[in-house]
A = this chain, B = another copy of it.
Amino acid sequence: MKNCLFVLCDGMGDRPIFELGNKTPLQFAKTPNMDKLSQWGEDGLMDTIAPGIRPGSDTSHLALFGYDPHEYYTGRGWFEAAGVGVQLQPGDVAFRGNWATLDNGNIVDRRAGRITEKDGTADLAKALNGMKLESVDGVEVIVQPSTEHRLVVVFRGESLSDDVEGTDPKVTGRPAQKARPRIEDEPSRRTAAALNEFTEKALGILSTHPVNANRDLPANYVITRGAGSVREIPSFEEKYGFRGAIVAKEGMIVGIGRVLGMDIIVPEGATANVHTDLVSMAHAALDALKKYDYVFVHIKATDILSHDGDYVGKARFLEKIDKDFLGTVLEKVDLHETLVVLTADHSTPCELMEHSGDPVPLVVTGAGVRLDDVRHFDEISAMKGYLFRIKGSDLMPIILNYINKAEKYGA
């Protein structure tokens, strides 16, 4: 085989759900194309970081791209900023943020009524971008909207630090947190002070902003988290000797791709939610395989439905991925040329509505792969497959081996 199509369904892994007859959504859903991949391929379980560790999407993607997150991960802000086109410089500190609603001193909605781009988030960001801060000297403020209710806040200047706890209280009904340094040094104190002044001034500016004039849940507050600074990281091409492409819309995944110097493909109709056009994404992936040796497709909505605890919706969306995306792919793809990988970055059990440390199912399909007896792609069947239970860091070497691009270790 000569190239790889890597299909990642965010948060796809789950636990048995009583209401689904003690099946996981993946077991419950009718997914004949996923099952074909299992029948034609080798299956297994994967701990994207290590057994029991609850991964974020950022650390797990780094591991799946073959980058040790313990070496490279500084916080999600870096990738989120790259995702919206802010090229960070060494010394910058970036935060992920949400447009949120503050009422009577409490955060009443962490997503400002799920505000989106079409409601005018670009205008809100513009109103905050370039803000002058008085508590700290010479700090430039960069604010960019991201997908839906998300934004990116970057501080650029001397003596800043990413050892800062942001202002996101994570729950509603409580006051936003004050930003605070995680360690007691001057750069961390300086950065926390800058973030607190920014947050206070933003409230004043947003409260009277025309975008909020008729909103029940105005986007009058910015909550921040995931401080990240820039680290030296080899590009995907430097590391592997060939170019990789990412088919995705989700800001953070696009950001990781940009940081690794991969090409980003956003197909017509692709979104980071359930409304994404999966047929269009499939065609974009098939096209990309003509030019790239590694094409990574990120499908976000499985994770969103899991965070909402919507196990029926998750099962139905898995069926949609199966039919629209995989159906289109399998009609066209040549499994003698292309290795197809299907897996998740982590489990998000609907019962927990949060990422968990349970392993995810994995299938690797293509000509020459050693076949096992697994006939159905799900978290339980996968345990009997040829790949056993591997770590996320094992997957890229396995892919390189099958697509004949692995360096020999030794002579």
Contact, CB under 8 Å: B56 / A409: yes
Report how far A49 CA is from B254 CA in the complex, Å: 33
Contact, CB under 8 Å: B410 / A58: yes
* Binary contact readout A46-75 vs B (1 if CB under 8 angstroms, 0 otherwise): 000111111111111000000001000101
Report how far A410 CA is from B67 CA in the complex, Å: 14
Q: Chain A's interface: helix, strand, loop or mixed, by majority?
A: loop
Query: Considering residues A76, A96, A372, A411, which has the most beta carbons from chain B within 10 angstroms of its beta carbon?
Result: A411
Contact, CB under 8 Å: B390 / A56: no
Known contacts A371-B380, A394-B51; is-contact A411 B356 (Cβ 8 Å): no
Shortest beta-carbon distance, A363 to chain B, in Å?
A: 15
Kindly identify, within residues 365 to 409 of chain A, every residue whose CB is under 8 Å from any CB belonging to chain B. Answer: 368-372, 379-380, 383, 386-390, 394-401, 404, 406-409
Shortest beta-carbon distance, A113 to chain B, in Å?
A: 23
- Does A300 sit within 8 A of B, measured CB to CB? no
* Cross-interface CB contact of A58 among B49, B59, B404, B411, cutoff 8 Å: B411
Known contacts A73-B410, A406-B357, A410-B58; is-contact A397 B351 (Cβ 8 Å): no
* Cross-interface CB contact of A357 among B50, B53, B379, B398, cutoff 8 Å: B398
Contact, CB under 8 Å: B368 / A351: yes
Report how far A386 CA is from B50 CA in the complex, Å: 15
Q: Which residues of B contact A226 (CB under 8 A)?
A: 411
Report how far A170 CA is from B395 CA in the complex, Å: 28
* Binary contact readout A20-57 vs B (1 if CB under 8 angstroms, 0 otherwise): 00000000000000000000000001000111111111
- Which of chain B's residues has its CB closest to A396's CB? B52
Contact, CB under 8 Å: A57 / B410: yes
Contact, CB under 8 Å: B409 / A52: no
- Does A97 sit within 8 A of B, measured CB to CB? no
Contact, CB under 8 Å: A394 / B52: yes
Q: Which residues of B contact A355 (CB under 8 A)?
A: 408
* Cross-interface CB contact of A411 among B51, B57, B388, cutoff 8 Å: B57
Shortest beta-carbon distance, A384 to chain B, in Å?
A: 9
Report how far A45 CA is from B409 CA in the complex, Å: 19
Q: Which residues of B contact A354 (CB under 8 A)?
A: 408
Known contacts A352-B404, A397-B51, A397-B357; is-contact A225 B368 (Cβ 8 Å): no
Query: Considering residues A60, A352, A389, which has the most beta carbons from chain B within 10 angstroms of its beta carbon?
Result: A389
Bin the interface of chain A by size.
35 or more
Known contacts A368-B15, A388-B389, A389-B388; is-contact A56 B401 (Cβ 8 Å): no
Shortest beta-carbon distance, A406 to chain B, in Å?
A: 5
Contact, CB under 8 Å: A349 / B368: yes
Q: Which residues of B contact A52 (CB under 8 A)?
A: 394-401, 406
- Does A358 sit within 8 A of B, measured CB to CB? yes
Query: Considering residues A49, A52, A351, A352, which has the most beta carbons from chain B within 10 angstroms of its beta carbon?
Result: A52
Contact, CB under 8 Å: A356 / B401: yes
- Which of chain B's residues has its CB closest to A354's CB? B408
Q: Which residues of B contact A399 (CB under 8 A)?
A: 52
Q: Which residues of B contact A45 (CB under 8 A)?
A: 386, 388
Shortest beta-carbon distance, A133 to chain B, in Å?
A: 25
- Does A313 sit within 8 A of B, measured CB to CB? no
* Cross-interface CB contact of A54 among B60, B349, B394, B407, cutoff 8 Å: B407
Contact, CB under 8 Å: B225 / A411: yes
Known contacts A410-B73, A411-B56; is-contact A398 B51 (Cβ 8 Å): yes
Question: Which 3 residue pairs across A and B have the least CB separation, nearest first?
Answer: A56-B410, A52-B397, A59-B410
Q: Can you sample 23 A-B contacts with CB below 8 Å?
A: A15-B368, A15-B369, A15-B370, A45-B388, A53-B397, A53-B406, A53-B409, A54-B406, A54-B407, A55-B409, A56-B408, A57-B410, A57-B411, A69-B410, A75-B411, A76-B411, A96-B411, A356-B401, A370-B379, A370-B380, A383-B386, A383-B388, A387-B389
